[in-house]
Amino acid sequence: MPQGSRAVAPFNPSPSWPGGYVKVLREAGAQEKTIPYHLGWVRRFFA
């Protein structure tokens, strides 16, 4: 497998996530400092 190439979703500083995603993360107990990590993971997953 070639090293160094990986698919990345285009960066959008104002993404429109599915309604309530961040709210669900907070209700599930996610710390505020980890929410950007979760959002980045979802962006890469669906890329």
Per-domain boundaries in the chain: 20-47
DSSP-derived secondary structure for 7-39: --PPP-SS--PSTTHHHHHHHTT--GGGHHHHH
Query: 0.75 exceeded by the pTM?
Result: no
Residue 20 has pLDDT above 60, yes or no: yes
Distance from C-alpha of 15 to C-alpha of 26, rounded to nearest angstrom: 18
Residue 1 has pLDDT above 60, yes or no: no
Which residue has better confidence, 1 or 30?
30
Extract the tokens encoding 14. Answer: 């104002």
Which residue has better confidence, 41 or 19?
41
Average pLDDT of the chain, as a whole number: 77
Q: Are 45 and 17 in contact (CB under 8 A)?
A: no
Mean pLDDT of 9-38: 81
